[in-house]
Amino acid sequence: MRSGIRQNLIMASVDEIVAALADTPAAERVGWQFADELSRLDDPVRPPEKPVPDWFRQGVEHAVGWLATTWPQRPLFRPIRALDRARIVPLPHDDAYILAMVSALGDRGDAAYRLDAIRADDELRADLLWRVFEVEGGGEVSLTNVDKFSMPGCGWADAFRTLVADGTLPRDRVLSACLAALGRDFSTYRAGFFARLFDSLTPATGELLAAQTRLLRLLSSTVPATVSFAVRHLATIDRDDDAFLDACPPALVVPAKNTPLIVLRLVEAAAKHHPERAAEVAATALEHRHRDVQKAALSLLHNLNAGDLVAARLDLLEPSVARQATAWFGFTRDDENPAPAAIPETRTSGRTAGERAAALLAGDTDPWEIEQFLAEVAAGRAAVELRKPARRALQYRGELRHVVAALLLGEQPHIYGARFLAARIGEIQARSGPCTLLATPTDPTGWLDPAEFLRRLSGTPEPMRHDLIAALLRLHPDGRAEALHTARTRPGDAGAAIRYALGGAPAEIGDPAIWVAAARTRAPLDDDPNLIAAGLTGAGRGHAARLTLRLTSKSWSYQAATGNRTVVVWEPHIDVEPPVTPSADQPTVPVTDGSAGFVRWQAQTWPHDAETFLTAEIDPAMSAAYGENDGRTPDRLDALLTHPGRLGPMAASVLAAALTAQDTGCRIRAAEALTTLVPHRIPAPVMAGAMAQLAGHATANRWAGALRNTGQPGTVIAVLGALLPQLPHDHPGLSALLEALLEESVRMSAVPSAALRPWLLGFAGSSKAARTARDLLRLDAA
């Protein structure tokens, strides 16, 4: 009797188990309940007194099906196999049977169960065991998965090694079965088991030679790891050159560069006897994505004097490799076509109130549409017939559609992190009757035409306070003088503030929030002496905000399977000067925590300046580098792209953070935003400064990939040229950034700037980064 679970079981005969199960409701005679009961079966099994009932047979069949898809971590296949061998419940030896065996022949924590079962079962060793190399499995049940979650020494691979070592299983058959399995149409994850098992048996050279045909066949596997496995073993034996050259081209284009580099070395060796064929094969490697592979192939083809083969693939080469090819072979290369411009987005125009409300309820977050919707709500023209769809949309708390739904239903919306917008909405909901909103923009980017503002104001004797603040903040710089003239008779504190906003004379300050808005639209980025004199001090009030980003890091270590690992997490802090306390009615005051839920809408609150609203967006934008994030970085980037006002270090920091986002689409969007905004809206040094500051947080490879994907070499060169001198020479992933700069420089026939040269000269040694730096410096000479 084995240790573990069975030790605690009361063993039973077939008749006893049938009797016990007969008392169980039929609905419970399934899955683990049935298999669990079976596990009490005597070992060895004794024939029953009478034939087992049909429901018992079916139960055993169902148990096989259940085990084929579920890993119980216990040897529940033993009684099934025993019933089958004794012909008490004969079972078809189909794929499900094999998978049930994979799943439950052994125990997760006790190697002896599986070993004993195999040793004691002749039929298993002769036939069934070998079918585990043929049936792939999936989900919980596969050789790979069972081994991955079994205790060390208790997996299938351990069993095979033990049984080969003690002679129970023929070693050559196990090796051969592994290679056969690797040739099947199995997934990468599940194919890995067979490669690991083969390797762990450390096949001798003679065994590898005998397996050469199979190994060559694996070079065309669709699983890159299998190709690498085959190449690794073929490299150690005396190969049949003809067969190798025939079989190896697919291995020259697998994604990882090491495999094709090894293959190229083997091709080079074969070239001594088959130069022409070797050249044809090597040319395939020019199609590889990695320039190191391309360079190695080009070098070999140069040695083989095979320029015609290179010429046919010149367009596929990285610029630096193509440049070398043209130098060696005297080619001329056609100019590349520039990347086509993106087709401008078309806005749906002419929507009715109902169509607009429906679009917003369906998830549209266009700030223009929400402002038009607000105007319709205020004017009493909202599409109240959509109350039922609105009721459904109300569940999306934190999304704009929730706010829209609440407005349609006349309920109070839940708004987080957008206190000014919440106040505007509350004001609209509390109005006494239909009215015209002052703040509705006249331009999709958020601007309000001063003349239109005055026209609306003339019909609004008592404007709503937050509506007036919103309108003041949106006033476009053009047309203010004419508007000031129109506003000359506007009475009261509000009239004076409006005139002040439009460039009029200072007056006594009444409502501070209205005067702050007036000052921030009058001279958005300057200190206002009148407000300061009146005591309305602080960033975004009387003073222009001075914003500084600082990053601090926290690190901790933990023990992983591969050793001790340290994780460093960077945290942003925004220093706001002069100090100020945020206030719901003063949206120009920077808020450094709590990202706005509706960032695109929030961004248009103050079209003069994007930096203020972005202070709260850097932290969540940096979180996009990890799997868990708020998913709103695309919205942040859209807000940046469409914002008409000042962009600066905060905007650059959001871009730099988005460029290292985990999500591919997010990185691409960030790179597009970068090429749109740099250098016209964000100077390249500002962008580079932000990237330098976030370099510890960012993954350099992601930056490099995103930048190269832009198709805008000039911008890439400008940004990297300014960034690199700010990074230490041992910065992780630096070589990827240097390679990006090198390739785009060659593409543009550009040379490193004078500012970059000393930094490039500062490299020592033979690291990849150092070599690439030297390649960049050589561009000067070229």
Partner 1 sequence: MTVEQLYRYRHPSILDTDGLRLATSGGPADHPYFFDGLIERPPIVAAGLLAVARVARTRFYTPPSMVAAILRAADPIVTSDGAKLRFESFSADCGVYARLDVLPDGLDTAPHARGTTNVDFNGPMRDALAGLSGHDPMHLAVGDDEVRVRTLDAEAVERRVPLPGRWVRSLAELNVIARAMQPAATYPAAHLRRLLQTQPRGPRNAGVLHVTPGPGGPRLATRPAAGSVAVAGLDRLRVVEPLLRHATTVRTFGLNTGSAWLLEMPTARLTVLLSPAVSRGFSGEGGLLETGPDHDAGYDLADGSTFDRELPLDARAVYADQPRLRDARALVEAGAVKPGPAHTIVESGGTAYTVRRTPDGERCTCAWFATHGLGRGPCKHILATRLPRAR
> Which residues make up the interface to partner 1 (CB under 8 A)?
95, 134-136, 139, 180, 183-185, 216-217, 220-222, 246-247, 249-250, 253, 255, 287-289, 313, 315-316, 318-319, 336-343, 345, 348, 350-352, 354-355, 357-359, 361-364, 383, 385-389, 662-665, 668-669, 672, 705, 709-711, 713, 747
Do residues 550 and 572 make contact, with C-beta atoms less than 8 angstroms apart?
yes
β-strand partners of 548: 575
Phi, psi of 592 (to 5 degrees): -100, -5
Name the minimum Å distance from CB 651 to partner 1. 18
Name the minimum Å distance from CB 266 to partner 1. 18
Give the whole-angstrom CA distance, residue 66 versus residue 60: 10
Residue type, 93: H
Name the minimum Å distance from CB 69 to partner 1. 8
Give the whole-angstrom CA distance, residue 723 versus residue 701: 14
Do residues 588 and 716 make contact, with C-beta atoms less than 8 angstroms apart?
no
Q: Which is nearer to partner 1, 214 or 431 (CB)?
A: 214
Name the minimum Å distance from CB 212 to partner 1. 13
Name the minimum Å distance from CB 359 to partner 1. 4
Strand 546-560 versus strand 563-577 pairing type: antiparallel
Q: Which is nearer to partner 1, 221 or 588 (CB)?
A: 221
Residue type, 250: P
Give the whole-angstrom CA distance, residue 564 versus residue 65: 41
Q: Which is nearer to partner 1, 148 or 289 (CB)?
A: 289
Count of C-beta atoms within a 10 Å radius of residue 313: 19
Name the minimum Å distance from CB 248 to partner 1. 12
Give the whole-angstrom CA distance, residue 91 versus residue 100: 12
Name the minimum Å distance from CB 316 to partner 1. 5
Q: Which is nearer to partner 1, 20 or 256 (CB)?
A: 256
Residue with tokens 């129970």: 168
Name the minimum Å distance from CB 366 to partner 1. 12
Give the whole-angstrom CA distance, residue 453 versus residue 475: 8
Q: Which is nearer to partner 1, 183 or 620 (CB)?
A: 183
Rounded to 10°, the helix 664-677/700-708 angle is 60
Name the minimum Å distance from CB 411 to partner 1. 18
Q: Which is nearer to partner 1, 528 or 744 (CB)?
A: 744
Count of C-beta atoms within a 10 Å radius of residue 326: 16
Q: Which is nearer to partner 1, 3 or 352 (CB)?
A: 352
Residue type, 415: I
Q: Which is nearer to partner 1, 186 or 447 (CB)?
A: 186
Give the whole-angstrom CA distance, residue 539 versus residue 592: 12
Do residues 126 and 106 make contact, with C-beta atoms less than 8 angstroms apart?
no
Q: Which is nearer to partner 1, 3 or 664 (CB)?
A: 664
Do residues 50 and 22 make contact, with C-beta atoms less than 8 angstroms apart?
no
Name the minimum Å distance from CB 612 to partner 1. 26
Name the minimum Å distance from CB 143 to partner 1. 16
Q: Which is nearer to partner 1, 250 or 732 (CB)?
A: 250
CA distances from 271 to 28, 241, 268, 412 (A): 68, 9, 5, 78
> What is the C-alpha end-to-end distance of the chain, expressed in Å?
80
Count of C-beta atoms within a 10 Å radius of residue 653: 29
Q: Which is nearer to partner 1, 51 or 255 (CB)?
A: 255
Closest Cα to residue 169, out of 211, 113, 204, 119?
119
Do residues 315 and 342 make contact, with C-beta atoms less than 8 angstroms apart?
no
